[in-house]
Amino acid sequence: MVVSVRRPLLAPQTPMVQCVGSVHELKRTFLVSAPAERSTSATNIRRGLQADRMKRVLQGDEQEDGGGTSGGSQESLKRPCKQTREEDSEEEEASRCEYLPQEILLHIFQYLPLLDRAYASQVCRGWNQAFHMPELWRCFEFELNQPASSYLKATHPDLIKQIIKRHSKHLQYVSFKVRMESEKERKQCGVDSSRESAEAACNILSQLVNCSLKTLGLISTARPSFMELPKSHFISALTVVFVNSKSLSSLKIDDTPVDDPSLKVLVANNSDTLRLLKMSSCPHVSPAGILCVADQCHGLRELALNYHLLSDELLIALSSERHVHLEHLRIDVVSENPGQQFHTIKKSSWDAMVRHSPKFNLVMYFFLYEDEFGPFFRDEIPVTHLYFGRSVSKDVLGRVGLNCPRLVELVVCANGLRPLDEELIRIAQRCTQLSAIGLGECEVSCSAFVEFVKMCGDRLTQLSIMEDVLVPDHRYGLDDIHWEVSKHLGRVWFPDMMPTW
Amino acid sequence: MAVNSVHWFRKGLRLHDNPALQEALSGADTVRCVYILDPWFAGAANVGINRWRFLLESLEDLDSSLKKLNSRLFVIRGQPTDVFPRLFKEWKVTRLTFEYDPEPYGKERDGAIIKMAQEFGVETIVRKSHTLYNLDRIIEMNNNSPPLTFKRFQTIVSRLELPRRPLPAVTQQQMDKCRTKITENHDQLYSIPSLEELGFRTVGLPSAVWRGGESEALDRLNKHLDKKVWVANLDHPRVNTCSLYASPTGLSPYLRFGCLSCRVLYYNLRELYMKLRKRCSPPLSLFGQLLWREFFYTAATNNPNFDRMDGNPICVQIPWDQNPEALAKWAEGRTGFPWIDAIMTQLRQEGWIHHLARHAVACFLTRGDLWISWESGMKVFEELLLDADWSVNAGSWMWLSCSAFFQQFFHCYCPVGFGKRTDPSGDYIRRYIPILKDYPSRYIYEPWNAPESIQKAANCVVGVDYPKPMINHAEGSRLNIERMKQVYQQLSHYRGLSLLASVPTIQEEAEPPMTDESQTSSGPDSPPRVPAPSEAAGCSTAPDSSTVYVSYAPRPELEGTQGPHPSQTPCTSSGSHPQPPAAVSWSFAPPSPAHSPLSRSKASSPSSSCPTSSPAPSPAGAPGQTFPKRKGLARQTRRNPRQRGRPSCATSGREGERREEEEEEREDTGGDERMEEDAEHEVERMEEETSAHQQ
């Protein structure tokens, strides 16, 4: 125990004890140390060790809960503090530890990683109380995955138990990260571990009866695990949260089997507070289901869904007088099978949206086959961010140039073999807001590209062009082009390179 | 006392431009050239038959060249640490020479041998000739860390003196002076092993497409140069169908084994360029491939974990899937995507694939479709690819999987479209996957979309004779793009580098930043944020959510304790923690507070009362005065210099000082170069951040 406690106390906590004098200094110490700590992704080994330690710490904590603190462990746990303040007398040191005001302690704890907080909680009763302060438990991310996929860390089961037992009522901002393993691993484990993870998430959700969540996120870090669950199981767990949390403001349930009835429950209980709803790739929701959300939740400011849920009615509902300005609308246009037919949205509906929310971002991700673009970009559309994940034809890009006056960012991953010269020039002419562009497997002649950059000038804050995209012509070779483009941008620019190896 | 030299061949399997070998010859009474290999380990090592064959052929060639000089190659079976003590005694060795190996594993091995030689009183002479430049010098010039972007690397290289000129080949006269008696039983004792001896089955083995050896390498070099003259194309050649096939002018495996000196290639290209173009100095792009090799060698030389994700400070930790089944399908060319399968078949059969083909299969395995770690792919390449240098292989995989070197990840190669673009006819597929040879070009890249009648007519029904595609590319790449976004959105120093990571959302506004490292991997940077200066660019429609909106985030855990930080909070001026600003070229202005209903509605949160309006106003408006590592600061400090036309010393602390120095150094640079410097600073900062973050 002593060893395991000593590490964190000597490392990040050292300055904490030394700087007890001033709150500002305290802040400084932790502001500086915390981010660095966070971004060093812990290695797997370290994670393993941490999980181990976490278990021990939590077990220690449990004991403490039962019979108070035993003298022996107290003493051994205090030792690290002494070491950090060699110049001070022991007495003074001991008293300082204890008299650190609770709110300062809380403040410090906020900047500590959970594990370090857990260690610190073993120092003395006061610190232990601080560890359990509700303020520290408002926000939590459960990571549920089996050790087989060793790239990810997992939230320790003992910790989950503790949280449900002691802190579920404090939780407000919750997310679940669930990961699914390959079929082979599933066979090896003998159980369907990914489904287990998703199920574990559902089980935790259904136990969150007496809490009032403000945000909830269900995130599959691999393939959509929640889709694997029996729909009824998932729905009933989700409904528990919807019914009990009367003030959900943010809900991220992409790739889940959520359905129309459960959305109705959501609306019935949280219509006043809901601001963000992300539900891309939820096949059980119908256009009517999402329309019901838009009709009732007037505070909705961000919405993410698939194109098949988008309707003229939905846009009209979102631009009704009672509705706040929408800020972000993300649409995924995904082809389920080649040659799929897509419906069209009326220009008047988009116009209504722009009138109501003049500044809203319309983010569209296209994952379509080339011949499925028929209904798109025929009329003016207020799209701001366009991402073409698959090959898109010259013709469609030509229409983009004509009909997307609000375009800010454009990513074209691939295009046919003919150069995109006229299309880019037209986009430069017509899309006067365009400030970012990325081109993958496309071709543009160097001259046309220089012309494009010249027309856009320094408003192009992001210009990410693969080297192979640029075709040298009579005016510019590959060696000249970066100077020419840099000149027009007013900063140094190079095409993106890939190693030749 | 007699000087008895041993030259130890490892890489550098050549007699031309071999400085260490020259040292062995210089003033020596006897010289023996040895190659050490352990047949026991040969079978077990992760090296495929084609690579072994190439090596053995190279050794044969070396031996026959030495024969012409009345010498021989001594191939010794065993491990260097066991072999050398015996040789030292047996041959009364006084001098050991070998080429410097810049890779961490090699450095360690050589260190042990040098120490051992010392104990035996043997002088060791080590010479650098596997790389163009002294890699340590490049690192030194980049403030003692390897450059992590190719541009930065090129900039440094352009400031270096030219690589050392190559040395001539070893001559008969040189060899005559230190001729070593070759015993009768030389072939029994020191012969080059056969593939069978190494444990490979050679029955039915097709002949090698790439024949190993220095003679072949020099032959190819001449053809390579002739071709350059012939097509009068010294620039980057455009890729076409032909590029996909093994070319008789290809050189990369010869550089890998050192059958060809990189400096010989360098100077030949240079001279050819100067002859043809009549310009005084050729552009760096002429040496593209050589410089990439150098770049990765530099990045790897001091990083023993360069070939793995764990413990590798330059590698982004990405939660890859572990899926041995899918990996096997990929490695064996059974993915069901003819383009991918043809490439993997070519790789297995011939040991070489074009670099775009490498990009295609690497992207497919990692971030594009299968989401399997680049380490697995790297190991397969290590086994099969003739030119797989440890450094270059690992580095390229990190690059292609967007795990390092600041890559854009928005673009995934399509396993159908990419091949179609490169070879519309599909002949490449037909050559390597004969079962598809009767498919019409229209369907050959996506046979599963061919009508059944066509499948039957082509005698290859998908799902029976050829596998169905193992993944729906559209769906897979959509999910993977999202996953990549998840990964990159948590890396503050990468933020703004990627187009996709910047797609706006209010999500962080609705959620408090999580301060808990052990439990959150998506928590944004430390809580207090300074919004970006509103002077930045006039497009308020698309805020960079990750930086801007966060300033409105209600932070319930801080309620009542937390106002906006006054300017004396830790800032770069304290000097104690100079944080280089994030290198971000993305500058969106925050929307004005009026557009954020949430900030008003959260009356309970004191921090909401002053969202954007008071970003720690600092006295003289000095932009350096604010929290470390906030993007607001990053932009401010970077924008201001730009507005003034050249980098200033706006930032305090180390960063500023260094800039000052650099400016003095290059007072006389023109405007263009100044821009370049600006970019360099960005890159430097970017790199500093990474190392600061990941150590």
Q: How confident is the model over A155-198, as pLDDT tens digits?
A: 777 777 777 777 777 777 777 776 654 444 444 444 445 567 77
Q: What is the pLDDT of residue A286?
A: 94
Between A90-99, B116-125, B340-349, B621-630, the lowest mean confidence (pLDDT) is in: B621-630
- Kindly tell me if the per-residue pLDDT of B542 is higher than 60: no
Quick one: pLDDT at residue B149?
A: 87
CB contact under 8 Å between A141 and B520, yes or no, is yes
Measured between CA atoms, how close is B41 to chain A, in angstroms?
A: 28
Query: Alpha carbon of B432 to those of A214, B202, B240, B340, B437: distances in Å?
Result: 57, 21, 17, 11, 9
Averaged pLDDT, A115-139: 80
**pLDDT for B142:** 94
A416 in Cβ contact with A393 (< 8 Å): yes
The percent of residues above 70 in pLDDT, for chain B, comes to 68
Count of A-B CB contacts under 8 Å: 343
Q: What is the percent of chain A where pLDDT is above 90? A: 33
Q: What is the pLDDT of residue A92?
A: 52
Q: Give the pLDDT of residue A297.
A: 92
Nearest-Cα residue of chain A relative to residue B486: A221
Mean pLDDT in residue range A288-292? 94
Strands A409-415 and A470-471, how do they pair?
A: unpaired
**Residue A28's closest chain B neighbor by CA?**
B570
Per-residue pLDDT, B502: 59
pLDDT confidence of residue A24: 39
* B642 to A491: CB separation less than 8 angstroms, yes or no: yes
A318 with A353: CB under 8 angstroms?
yes
CA dihedral of residues B316, B318, B324, B329 (deg, nearest 10) = -80
- Are the beta carbons of B519 and A183 separated by less than 8 Å? no
Question: Is-contact A439 A465, C-beta < 8 A?
Answer: yes
pLDDT band, very low/low/confident/very high, at B79 (cuts 50, 70, 90): very high
More confident residue, A92 or B165: B165
Provide mean pLDDT across the span A301-328.
93
Is the distance from CB of B246 to CB of B210 less than 8 angstroms?
yes
Contact B478 A389 (CB under 8 A): yes
Give the separation between CA A347 and CA A355, rounded to whole angstroms.
12
pLDDT tops 60 at residue A280:
yes
How much of chain A exceeds pLDDT 70, in percent?
73
Q: Is the pLDDT of residue A354 over 50?
A: yes
- Spatial contact of B34 and B75, defined as CB atoms under 8 Å apart: yes
For B397, name the nearest residue in chain A, comparing CA atoms only: A499
Nearest to B692 among A34, A36, A368 (CB): A36
Chain centroid offset of residue A142 CA: 14
By Cβ distance, the residue of B283, B355, B525 closest to A501 is B355
Choice between A93 and B218, residue whose per-residue pLDDT is larger:
B218
What is residue A64's predicted lDDT score, i.e. its pLDDT? 42
Structure confidence by residue, pLDDT tens digits, B355-407: 989 999 999 999 999 999 999 999 999 999 999 999 999 999 999 998 888 77
Confidence of residue B35 (pLDDT cuts 50, 70, 90): very high
A46 and B CB contact within 8 Å? no
| pLDDT digit string, tens, across residues B630-683 | 333 333 333 333 333 333 333 333 443 444 444 344 434 344 444 444 444 544
pLDDT, tens digit, for every residue of A387-400? 998 888 899 999 99
Q: Does B387 touch chain A (CB under 8 A)?
A: yes
Show the DSSP H helices in A40-181 as ranges. 44-67, 71-84, 90-99, 102-110, 114-120, 125-131, 157-162
The confidence score (pLDDT) of residue A95 equals: 52
Chain B residues close to A38, C-beta within 8 Å = 517, 523, 525-526
% pLDDT > 90, chain B:
48
**For testing the chain A interface, which of B518, B598, B672, B685 should be mutated: the one with the most A CBs within 10 Å?**
B518
Q: First vs last Cα of chain A: how many Å apart?
A: 51
Residue A142 has pLDDT above 50, yes or no: yes
Residues of B in contact with A141 (CB under 8 A): 514, 516, 519-523
Which residues, numbered 395 to 424 in chain A, qualify as contacts with chain B under a Cβ-Cβ cut-off of 8 Å? 406, 408-409, 411, 413-414, 416-417
Confidence (pLDDT) at B584: 28
pLDDT at residue B579 in the model: 35
Compare B242 and B63 and report the one with higher pLDDT.
B63
Residue A233: the pLDDT is 87
pLDDT band for position B134 (50/70/90)? Answer: very high
Would you call B556 and A365 a contact, using CB atoms and an 8 Å cutoff? no
pLDDT at residue B568 greater than cutoff 60: no
Least confident piece of the model among A386-390, A419-423, A477-481, B266-270: A477-481
What is the per-residue pLDDT for B637?
A: 36
DSSP A424: H
Chain A CB contacts of B447 under 8 Å are none
Residues 6+ apart with CB under 8 A from B290: B132, B255, B262, B265, B266
Nearest CA to B81 out of B104, B113, B33, B105 is that of B113
Q: Cβ–Cβ of A36/B320 closer than 8 Å? A: no
With CA atoms as reference, the chain A residue closest to B286 would be A479
Encode pLDDT of B166-179 as tens digits.
999 999 999 988 87
Pick from B289, B504, B514: CB nearest A500:
B289
Task: Give the pLDDT mean for B245-267.
Answer: 93
The mean pLDDT value of chain B amounts to 75
CB A376 within 8 A of CB B399: no
Asked whether the beta carbons of A317 and A291 are under 8 A apart, the reply is yes
Q: Once rounded to an integer, what is the mean pLDDT over residues B427-449?
A: 95
pLDDT for residue B152 is more than 70: yes
The complex scores an ipTM of 0.71
For the entire predicted model, the pTM comes to 0.74
Structure-token match 């009549």, residue found? B278
pLDDT number for residue B493: 53
Statement: residue B595 has pLDDT above 80: no
Give the one of B542, B561, B672 whose C-beta lies nearest to A483's C-beta: B672
- Using 50, 70 and 90 to split pLDDT, how confident is the model at B492? low
CB A148 within 8 A of CB A182: no
pLDDT at A89: 52
Average pLDDT over residues B115-123: 95
Contact B296 A325 (CB under 8 A): no
Q: Is the pLDDT of residue A209 over 90?
A: no
- Those residues with Cβ within 8 angstroms of residue A358's Cβ, 6 or more apart along the chain or in another chain: A325
Q: pLDDT (tens digit, 9 = 90+) per residue, A26-53? A: 333 333 333 333 333 333 334 444 445 5
Q: What angle do CA B229, B235, B240 make, to 5 degrees?
A: 90
pLDDT mean over A349-370 = 92
Return the exposure string of A309-344: e unless at least 16 CB atoms fall within 10 Å of the residue's CB, then b: bbbbebbbbbbeeebbebbbbbbbbbbeeeeeebee
